[in-house]
Amino acid sequence: MGAEPALSGSRRAPFGWAPGPSPHNQGGERAGRALALNFVMTHSESKSSLAIPGHAPAEATPSCWSCGTMRAVHFCTSCGKVQPPVPVDYFTFFGFPRKLNLDTAALEKEFYALSRKLHPDMFGQSDARERSWSLEQSSMLNDAYRTLKDPIKRTQYLLRLEGVELEEQSKQATEKARATGELKKQVVPPDLLEEVFELNMHLEELRMQKRMGEDDPALLEEIGKAKLALEEKYDVLFNELKTEWNNWDKSEDSGTADGTEADRRKIVDSMVDVLNRRNYIRNLLRDVNEAMEN
Amino acid sequence: MRQWKIRSEVEGSDAEVKTKPTQLSPLPFRPPTSAIFDQMATDYIVGIDLGTTNSLVAYMQGDSPVVIPGEDGLNLVPSVVALDEKNQVLVGNAARRYLIETPERAVYSIKRLMGRGVEDIQDELKLFPFQLADDLQPGEVLRIKIGERTYTPPEISALVLRQLKRNAERFFGASVTQAVITVPAYFNDAQRQATKDAGRIAGLNVLRLVNEPTAASLAYGLDKKKHGIVVVYDLGGGTFDISILKLHDGIFEVIATNGDTHLGGDDIDNLLIAIALDDIRGDLGLDFRRDARHSGEAVQRIRQAVIEAKIALSSQPTAKLDVDLPGGKKYQREITLEVFEQMVQPIIERTVGPCKQALKDAGLKPEQIDDLVLVGGSTRIPKVRRLVQDLFGRVPHTDLNPDEVVALGAAVQANILGGGSEITQDMLLLDVTPLSLGIEVAGGVTDKIILRNSTVPASATQYYTTQVDGQTNVAIHVLQGERELARDCRSLARFDLKGVPPMVAGMPRIEVKFLIDANGILRVSAREQRSGKEAEIDVQPSYGLTDEQVENMLLESFDFAAEDFRQRQVIEARREADTILTALAKAKKNQAWPELTSEERRSVETLAKALLAVKDSDDYHAIREGIDALNQATMHLAELMMDTAVSTALKGKAMDDIDIEEGPQAGHPVAKADFE
């Protein structure tokens, strides 16, 4: 509806971190994404209806309902009125580029600034329509902040935006396993195979001893050592993830260079792999802690 | 049920405006509602601390919140409700003596039963003299017997709220219909809903439920220079909360909260009562636990005595119990502080777990805490102070009155919601949901979709489909709690998505949106995505009242004496007169005023003076007539002002966005519409 707003640097929201003047000329499929302005973009491609909160094709008009001028995703940059929610992804909501290295101090500052504009407390005396919009907008703000400030949740969210359905896969697997009465099998990362086997033996032994009321300091020491090694691996994996973040962000910057799409796939796959391994270790550590505490 | 739909339009407080009981509003006139007059409305929004033991009402007087005293001059209204011989309701100090004289006609600590079912109050029934209604049906909302009548917990709370409302109305000389009410941070959805229902039953539009520790931090941090991490430890009469907040430039951000909604001074009293009853049986051979005829009275006398002793032990090394028992015997005993502290240690110790969990959830170490604030009467106990001090390695702030700070904070929040003032304009509260929200999935497992300590409002979207061809209903079970299994969590509601278009199994894609609002109350909406059809949600709340039940309970409908009613009419008319006179005073500065003929102006002035003269009388009809006459006379002025307003508003606005008035009173901002 209405004329397509021209998106230019001068149109950027006065807050937030619109990326520096965008040199690249996004074409086709990626149009409108790397231009992370928090304006509504009617031409943003619709990746069908992914089951991702806050991500769906934008359909709404870019005009403010109240003053009719250019509006932002959440409130009108001209008259300041809260706007009906439009489905945008969390990065766009904050006016951030879809990058994984994120200045969390800046994110917090922006979260506070937007809270002051969108929180239902600010609409105590407004009409029902604006109150309802403020409720939905501020829930979106809070959901977005919660997701983006946590490095792992942020990565998972981006992967889902990229079409990786992490959670749904695991949920399906879990339900299938329940239906068939099998325990869900987790693939042990090959480099851990030996360690995990040994650790599980030790844990079984420990549980048995605890049931019998026995105490074996040597065993505890053994498990403690294994735990430390796992924790180290856990940290290493986080660093690996950060390397992939850098690769991802670089590819976001380089825009339409040749072979980008294949490269991006590769980065996405690496991140999924790192997260899976990290997840595995986290579960293992949880088992260790449970066995030691009980 | 209400609250469960977020269709795009009206929800929340607007829908509740209608709670203004129709019986009470025979007046055809509604105060002007145009934008011009809304700015002038001097509606008081009060802050209410609805406590287990005591309740208070406060409001913002200029820059500082103050408690409004009752007719007896006291700030605290005991949360006690009694029926006298004529079945007249008594609340507060007036009701207290019935606790001893006719215990079966009085009830206290009703907050413990809010939002709960029969099956989860068995412990309470052992410790408190609550008498359940004899004809209670399974699945029905609890009803408590007071004398020959029965009341639900929200109704009993509503009686306390109405008393506070009346105290405020007496204080202001105007009616009060809007309030912020505090709840324990750890209250679940059902307990919050029950509190909101109580407000509605009392004739209050509950603008917001605020968590008690958070409210306390608002009062504490009114001085905007405060920054850093603040811990609020709130041990009251019946509930315990711990909240950790980050204060930053007027933003009060709750990072983590935890607690126990059934832990407080009540538990200390009950323990001391149990010890005394054992003593009495041992020493005097009297077993009041088996003496049904005297047990109520005996227990209440002992209760009064142990409470006094408990309080005394906060400032003295020993206290005496001296109780006249029914039957003439006396029970006397001295308690030393040392013995007292040993006895209450296990109760106080129960606050440690939640404190540690909250710190862990916040990702903080005790050293990182900047300030420690104590709230609730039970924090006066020296042992409690020492425990908190050791736990957090900080000397707690004790300069705030722990009984009043929550109500004062509620008044601050009321001020913020009313549009704010200079001192509150930069203040904003960001609170969290204390408990995770989940959905039951295959195998009776809870699938958490909104985690505890998420900032509210918060939402989660789930997708459902059908399992059988042509299936048109999908059942969903909503849970609240931290446990893995559904049966260990609190059941909030079961609901059926109805009207799913018949399709092949697995084809429909039903999007269900769960949203926790700023009150911590859940709302649910659903849409079938392939057809775009809004699915109908049929909710069976696991606990709680339905809309119709609440409407039928509106207190005034059955319990409003004729005298009250007349007074109320006068108060409302007076308030209306004030609104109009204020509006007129402002209108006279408008450019439309000189456009009137001098005759019109003179007539308006005369009628305004006449209204001013009668408005403080008790003559309802005279005030009413004065208002109507002035309304008529200002009709033309209002029209002129409207023209001005419209032309101003039009600059920069599209025509259809100008929302001059909705409803039947459109067209004239001062006078009522012609039809009634």
Q: CB–CB of A121 and B653 under 8 A?
A: no
Q: Is the alpha carbon torsion for A273, A275, A276, A282 positive or negative?
A: positive
A153, two tokens: 């949740």
Identify which has the larger pLDDT, B404 or B645: B404
pLDDT of residue B350: 96
Residues 6+ apart with CB under 8 A from B168: B44, B46, B57, B59, B68, B176
Q: CB–CB of B6 and A51 under 8 A?
A: no
Helix (H, G, I), strand (E, B) or coil at B539: strand
Q: CB–CB of A68 and B515 under 8 A?
A: no
A111, two tokens: 């979260």
Instruction: Give pLDDT tens digits for B9-24.
Output: 333 333 333 322 322 2
Q: Is B148 one of the annotated active-site residues of the chain?
A: no
CA A106 – CA A112 distance, rounded (Å) = 10
Strongest mean pLDDT among A37-46, A248-257, B137-146, B196-205: B196-205
CA A113 – CA A99 distance, rounded (Å) = 21
Q: How confident is the model at residue B467 (pLDDT cuts 50, 70, 90)?
A: confident
Q: How confident is the model at residue B54 (pLDDT cuts 50, 70, 90)?
A: very high
Whether the CB-CB separation of B556 and B203 falls below 8 Å is answered with yes
The answer to which of A34-38, B308-312, B337-341 has the lowest mean pLDDT is A34-38
CA B107 – CA A221 distance, rounded (Å) = 58
Name residue, tokens 């699938």.
B447
- CB contact burial B315-342 (16+ within 10 A = b; e otherwise): eeeebebebebeeeeebebebebeebbe
Name residue, tokens 């304006």.
A39
Q: Is the ipTM of this complex over 0.85?
A: no
Stretches where chain A sits below pLDDT 70 are 1-62, 68-72, 165-189, 255-259, 294
CA B481 – CA B675 distance, rounded (Å) = 52
Instruction: Give pLDDT tens digits for B578-634.
Output: 888 888 888 888 888 888 898 989 999 999 999 988 888 888 888 888 988 888 888
What does pLDDT average to over chain B?
Answer: 83
Torsions phi, psi for A179 (to 5 deg): -65, -40
Which of A125, A133, A174, A178 to mutate to probe the B interface, most B CBs <10 Å?
A125
Q: How confident is the model at residue B353 (pLDDT cuts 50, 70, 90)?
A: very high
CA B497 – CA B542 distance, rounded (Å) = 17
Nearest to B95 by CA among B152, B169, B163, B7: B163
In chain A, % helix, strand, coil (3-state, to 5) comes to 60, 5, 40
The answer to which of B183-187, B291-295, B524-528, B653-657 has the lowest mean pLDDT is B653-657
pLDDT of residue B655: 42
Q: Is B324 one of the annotated active-site residues of the chain?
A: no
Q: Tell me the β-bridge partners of B251.
A: B248, B428
pLDDT of residue A269: 87
Q: How many CB pairs under 8 A join A and B?
A: 102
Instruction: Give pLDDT tens digits for A31-44.
Output: 222 222 333 333 33
Percent of chain B with pLDDT over 90: 45
Whether the CB-CB separation of B115 and B187 falls below 8 Å is answered with yes
Query: Is residue A66 less than 8 Å (CB to CB) from chain B?
Result: yes
Q: CB–CB of B38 and A145 under 8 A?
A: no
A218, two tokens: 């040597």
Strongest mean pLDDT among B94-98, B255-259, B417-421: B255-259
Is B548 a residue whose pLDDT tops 90? no
> Looking at this protein, which amino acid is placed at residue B198?
A
CA dist list (Å): A207 to A112, A199, A289, B39, B421: 48, 12, 12, 69, 62
Strand order in B106-108's β-sheet?
B89-91, B80-83, B106-108
* B365 C-beta neighbours (distance < 10 Å), count: 10
pLDDT of residue B564: 61
Q: How far is B299 from chain A (nearest CA, A)?
A: 42
Q: How far is A81 from chain B (nearest CA, A)?
A: 12
Residues of chain B found within 8 Å of residue A125, distances taken between Cβ atoms = 38, 417-419
Q: Which of residues 409-448 of B touch A (CB under 8 A)?
A: 413, 416-419, 428-430, 441-443
Whether the CB-CB separation of B328 and B217 falls below 8 Å is answered with no
pLDDT of residue B5: 33
pLDDT of residue A189: 67
Q: How confident is the model at residue B513 (pLDDT cuts 50, 70, 90)?
A: confident
Q: CB–CB of A135 and B457 under 8 A?
A: yes
* Span B138-151, average pLDDT: 88
Q: How confident is the model at residue B657 (pLDDT cuts 50, 70, 90)?
A: very low
* Span B221-249, average pLDDT: 89
pLDDT of residue B583: 85
Closest partner CB to A112 (pick from B251, B529, B654): B251
pLDDT of residue B425: 86
Residues of chain B found within 8 Å of residue A136, distances taken between Cβ atoms = 6, 457, 459, 515
Residue B515: in which H helix or E strand, if any?
A: strand B510-516
Is B42 a residue whose pLDDT tops 60? no
* A213 C-beta neighbours (distance < 10 Å), count: 6
Closest partner CB to B12 (pick from A119, A131, A175): A131
Measure the CA dihedral B607/B609/B615/B620, to 10°.
-30
Identify which has the larger pLDDT, B482 or B547: B482
Q: CB–CB of A127 and B659 under 8 A?
A: yes
Residues 6+ apart with CB under 8 A from B135: none
Residue B651: in which H helix or E strand, if any?
A: none
Residues 6+ apart with CB under 8 A from B344: B268, B271, B381, B383
Q: Is B126 one of the annotated active-site residues of the chain?
A: no
pLDDT of residue A148: 96
Query: Is residue A127 less than 8 Å (CB to CB) from chain B?
Result: yes
Name residue, tokens 């005097």.
B284
Which of A55, A61, A143 to mutate to probe the B interface, most B CBs <10 Å?
A143
CA-nearest residue to B252 within chain A is A112
Is B243 a residue whose pLDDT tops 90? yes
Query: Is residue A143 less than 8 Å (CB to CB) from chain B?
Result: yes
pLDDT of residue A62: 61
pLDDT of residue B305: 94
Side-chain-facing half-sphere of B549: CA atoms under 13 Å? 18
Is B521 a residue whose pLDDT tops 80? yes
pLDDT of residue B372: 93
Which of B46, B456, B519, B521 to mutate to probe the A interface, most A CBs <10 Å?
B456
Query: Is residue A49 less than 8 Å (CB to CB) from chain B?
Result: yes
Q: How confident is the model at residue B648 (pLDDT cuts 50, 70, 90)?
A: low
Q: Which of residues 178-207 of B touch A (CB under 8 A)?
A: 207
Q: Is B18 one of the annotated active-site residues of the chain?
A: no
Q: CB–CB of B417 and A142 under 8 A?
A: no
Q: Is A248 exposed, middle or buried (0-12, 13-18, 19+ CB in 10 A)?
A: buried
pLDDT of residue B120: 79
CA A153 – CA A141 distance, rounded (Å) = 15
Q: CB–CB of A135 and B518 under 8 A?
A: yes
Q: Is the pTM of this model over 0.95?
A: no
> Looking at this protein, which amino acid is placed at residue B120?
D
Q: CB–CB of A68 and B654 under 8 A?
A: yes
Query: Is residue A170 less than 8 Å (CB to CB) from chain B?
Result: no
HEC states along B204-258? CEEEEEEEHHHHHHHHHCCCCCCCEEEEEEEECCCCEEEEEEEEECCEEEEEEEE
For B83, which DSSP code?
E
Torsions phi, psi for A138 (to 5 deg): -75, -25
A169, two tokens: 């896969």
Query: Is residue B517 less than 8 Å (CB to CB) from chain A?
Result: yes
B239, two tokens: 């509930």
Q: How far is A254 from chain B (nearest CA, A)?
A: 34
Closest partner CB to A132 (pick from B11, B430, B652): B11
Query: Is residue A125 less than 8 Å (CB to CB) from chain B?
Result: yes
pLDDT of residue A68: 64
HEC states along B32-47? CCCHHHHCCCCCCEEE
